[in-house]
Structure 1
């Protein structure tokens, strides 16, 4: 994967691309506090047939520095998270969002690289206005994926509701938690491949 960046007045956004001249491209986007390494288990599978792009969203990974009930938690996540010792936060987060030892270590290392200030900045940027976000009207097929043992926030509840309200396909990744694409990458890769080729 070749490392590149896009620069604007707010900073650099770092991305990686394999650019194998395929006419098919897949881009992987991580969630809050993760980075592009969340998709390390997808590279071997997808780079054979697709141009693959992974990236660090602003305020995550190498895309830093960058200028800067359910709703209570999302609005005050940063305020609550700053009360925890950061090593404890990293340990609890990696253990509660993953199933395999390799996945736990990968996410724990990711959080350590991000650092407490980086985690608070990223979480605040996403969660402070979470309840004001508009619903996206997708004009393409959508596949929702969730780990069988995902207990992170309201992820399971929201995915179940979203699938029922929209008719989007929802696939449960067995033997996986929140970072299901890392915990059970074989199942994840194959389900996404089936979806894209259906």
Structure 2
């Protein structure tokens, strides 16, 4: 994987890619909020040499810092499109975990005919109808919660709350530890992420997925109402939904073998 950078008006994005076969499918892995590119290390190991691969540290996350917090989900999708163009990625399959799935849906809204596939891992639909007014209100007010919460307790609850496996919890702890000594930055990343998510929902757009898609959700995912959202998302759209028994919010770290199999089967069906 080769590390590259892309400069925006808000800061510089760091990303990694391995484009060995031009015009072939590229798996574009988009990590969730406060996680970084390491979230997908088991997927990158498995698919290396089989498909083109792309992954980033999302704006303001990990190595993509310093970064101004004056961007929204649509900016992230536009920057992603520009990076794809630079890297000659013409057949992207976005694999988005949590916040990464929201970026993928925004990308589909802006560029509906330029996605070869979409895989949502423990994410949820962006349409306004799925959330309550109180949930929107709460999303906009999370930054102080993360700022005032004792860091050691936040580190413990943040890592244990998203994964059920030792590997998944340890990995999340490592990714959160990037912000040791700078809880303000961590709170800004989390608070800003939830805020731009709420703002994207308030736009009340279609966010229709027109390409082949797959929903994946851990059966022990207790992040918000992810399980309820995925059930409704599947029922309304008929997008296939796969449950991962015993997995939490980061199901790709709790059961990477199953997730890799699901992604690989999905790719074979769309080729």
Q: Give the TM-score taking structure 2 as reference length.
A: 0.69
> Which of 95, 99, 116 is the matching residue for 2:164?
99
Partner of 1:191: 262
Q: Distance in 1 between matches of 2:29 and 2:136?
A: 27
Partner of 2:195: 128
For the pair 1:177 / 2:248, whether they are aligned, the reply is: yes
Given that residues 60 and 118 in structure 1 are in contact (C-alpha distance below 8 angstroms), is that contact kept between their aligned partners in structure 2? no
For the pair 1:66 / 2:63, whether they are aligned, the reply is: no
Q: Distance in 2 between matches of 1:153 and 1:73?
A: 11
For the aligned residue pairs, the C-alpha RMSD in angstroms reads: 1.5
SS of 2:148's partner is: coil
Q: Note the C-alpha offset of 1:129.
A: 4.0
Partner of 2:215: 144
Unaligned runs of 5+ in 1: none
Q: Distance in 2 between matches of 1:83 and 1:117?
A: 9
Q: Distance in 2 between matches of 1:125 and 1:107?
A: 20
Residues 124-133 or 36-45, more deviating: 124-133
Unaligned runs of 5+ in 2: 70-133
Matches within 5 A, 1:24-43: 24-43=25-44
Partner of 1:50: 51
Question: What is the aligned length?
Answer: 198
Residues 88-97 or 78-87, more deviating: 78-87
Per-residue CA shift, 1:52-73, capped at 9, x if unaligned?
Answer: 1110110111111111242233
SS of 2:67's partner is: coil
Q: Distance in 1 between matches of 2:49 and 2:221?
A: 30
Given that residues 43 and 52 in structure 1 are in contact (C-alpha distance below 8 angstroms), is that contact kept between their aligned partners in structure 2? yes
Residues 154-163 or 48-57, more deviating: 154-163
Per-residue CA shift, 1:43-87, capped at 9, x if unaligned?
Answer: 121112101111011011111111124223312111222221122
Partner of 2:15: 15
Given that residues 3 and 17 in structure 1 are in contact (C-alpha distance below 8 angstroms), is that contact kept between their aligned partners in structure 2? yes
Q: Distance in 2 between matches of 1:131 and 1:7?
A: 26
